[in-house]
């Protein structure tokens, strides 16, 4: 698969995402059990106000998720997931000028979310569930494909790689080819290396250090490391004490060419993006 040069404007439903500069995606978990903010934004009004605050702080995408994918998380039914995300997506679409991303692997959720005004499908399982490729293809929306092995319940049970960089790249290439075969154009794909998903600390650090190598795949990169355990292990910090580490990795990701940063702490991350842009704009 040859390297592509993609345009700076990615169509996301009725809006466009500017890929000429790094963009911040704000995380909105409407789950009771997510690792960092589970239970905080399950109610419609609380979720909408949080989304509003993130947009006001500079987020250009809001990623709405109704299924926790932390290690050991329990599975949820399609009906339960849809009941969590649909009212939130509908409210954001009606009230805020922002691209909505739906963090889901469930075909029924993809289809309904697209109908409700979502502009991006963000799937940690890379459209591997039965019917997901067809649902994504029918939506006409861009899709973020993420590397993961197994399922969240078991993914951290002794993950092994001969070469994590090669195997992550090969997996993403295979999923890109599957998408094209299903009628999803390469131009609609975004790639996520999947930090913290079926990877040890050493795997995560090596993958981050060599993030630029994934540019050879020719697609925009999304990086999600906000508050994750790779920061906790490196710094000896609990989940509520990982802002500095998250911002350090955000800055590093941008210097390594990441296009989208998926984060909990939007105002602080937007400051990082703006500060780096100010330096780069100097003569």
Q: Which domain holds residue 83?
A: 20-281
- The residues, any chain, with a CB within 8 Å of residue 122's CB and separated by 6 or more, are 63, 101, 102, 103, 104, 143, 144, 146, 192, 222
Q: Tell the residue number behind the tokens 């994918």, with chain if given.
A: 69
Q: Residue 4 pLDDT more than 70? A: no
Query: CA 263 to CA 213: how far, in whole Å?
Result: 22
Whether residue 250 is contained in a domain is answered as yes
Helices (H), 182-242: 201-209, 229-235
DSSP-derived secondary structure letter, 214? G
pLDDT at 71 over 90: no
Predicted local confidence at residue 31, as pLDDT: 82
Query: Tens digit of pLDDT for each residue in 256-276?
Result: 999 999 999 999 999 999 999
CA distances from 124 to 7, 46, 70, 145, 164 (A): 24, 25, 11, 7, 17
Comparing CA positions, the residue from 187, 214, 143 lying closest to residue 9 is: 187
Residue 77 confidence (pLDDT) above 70: yes
Residue by residue, DSSP assigns 82-117 as: HHHHHHHHHHHHHH--SEEEEE---HHHHHHHHHHT
pLDDT value of residue 265 = 98
Confidence check: pLDDT of 3 > 90 = no
For the chain, give the mean pLDDT: 92
Integer Cα distance of 135 and 189 in angstroms = 15
Judge whether 5 lies within some domain: no
Rounded distance between C-alpha atoms, residue 173 and residue 194, angstroms: 14
DSSP, collapsed to helix, strand or coil, labels residue 185 as coil
Comparing CA positions, the residue from 140, 126, 132 lying closest to residue 109 is 132
Of 80-84, 117-121, 157-161, the poorest mean pLDDT is in 157-161
Any domain includes 2: no
For range 67-78, the mean pLDDT: 80
Q: Does residue 3 belong to any structural domain of this protein?
A: no
For the chain, what percent of residues have pLDDT higher than 70?
Answer: 92
* Residue 70 confidence (pLDDT): 74
The answer, yes or no, to whether residue 150 has pLDDT greater than 90, is no
Alpha helices, DSSP H only, in the chain? Answer: 44-56, 78-95, 107-116, 132-139, 164-181, 201-209, 229-235, 243-255, 266-281
Name which residue leads in pLDDT, 280 or 154: 280
Q: How far apart are CA 102 and CA 96, in angstroms?
A: 15
The CATH code of the domain that includes 79 is: 3.20.20.20
Does some domain include residue 4? no
Residue 48 counted as domain residue: yes
pLDDT category at 35 given cuts 50, 70, 90 is very low
Q: pLDDT digits over 98-113, tens only?
A: 999 999 999 999 999 9
Q: How far apart are CA 229 and CA 160, in angstroms?
A: 18
Average pLDDT over residues 191-209: 96
**Above 50 in pLDDT, residue 1?**
no
Residues 64 and 89: beta-carbon distance below 8 Å:
yes
For residue 5, the model assigns a pLDDT of 59
Question: Which has the closest alpha carbon to 190: 12, 21, 14?
Answer: 12
- Total domains in the fold of the chain: 1
- Is 115 among the domain residues? yes
Per-residue pLDDT averaged across 238-251, rounded? 97
The residues that are catalytic are 228, 262
Looking at residues 56-61, what average pLDDT do you find?
98
Task: Measure the CA–CA gap between 97 and 248, rounded to whole angstroms.
Answer: 29
Q: Is 138 contained in some domain?
A: yes
């Amino acid at each position: 698969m040859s390297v592509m040069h993609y345009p700076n404007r990615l169509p996301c439903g009725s809006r466009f995402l500017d890929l000429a500069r790094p963009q911040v995606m704000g995380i909105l978990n409407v789950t009771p059990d997510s690792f960092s903010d589970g239970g905080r934004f399950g109610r419609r009004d609380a979720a909408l106000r949080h989304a509003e605050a993130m947009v006001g702080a500079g987020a250009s995408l809001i990623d709405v998720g109704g299924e926790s994918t932390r290690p050991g998380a329990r599975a949820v039914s399609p009906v339960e997931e849809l009941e969590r995300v649909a009212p939130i997506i509908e409210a954001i679409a009606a009230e805020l000028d922002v691209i909505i991303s739906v963090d889901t692997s469930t075909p029924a959720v993809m289809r309904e979310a697209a109908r409700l005004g979502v502009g991006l499908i963000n799937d940690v399982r890379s459209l591997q569930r039965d019917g997901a490729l067809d649902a994504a293809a029918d939506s006409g929306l861009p899709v973020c494909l993420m590397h993961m092995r197994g399922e969240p319940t078991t993914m951290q049970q002794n993950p092994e790689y001969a070469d994590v960089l090669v195997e992550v790249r090969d997996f993403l290439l295979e999923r890109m080819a599957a998408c094209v075969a299903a009628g999803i154009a390469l131009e609609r794909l975004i790639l996520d290396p999947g930090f913290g998903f079926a990877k040890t600390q050493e795997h995560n650090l090596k993958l981050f250090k060599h993030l630029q190598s994934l540019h050879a795949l020719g697609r925009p990169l999304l990086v999600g490391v906000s508050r994750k355990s790779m920061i906790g292990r490196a710094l000896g910090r609990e989940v509520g004490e990982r802002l500095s580490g998250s911002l350090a990795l955000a800055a590093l990701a941008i210097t390594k060419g990441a296009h989208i940063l998926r984060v909990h702490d939007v105002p602080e991350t937007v400051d990082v993006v703006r500060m780096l842009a100010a330096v780069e704009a100097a003569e």
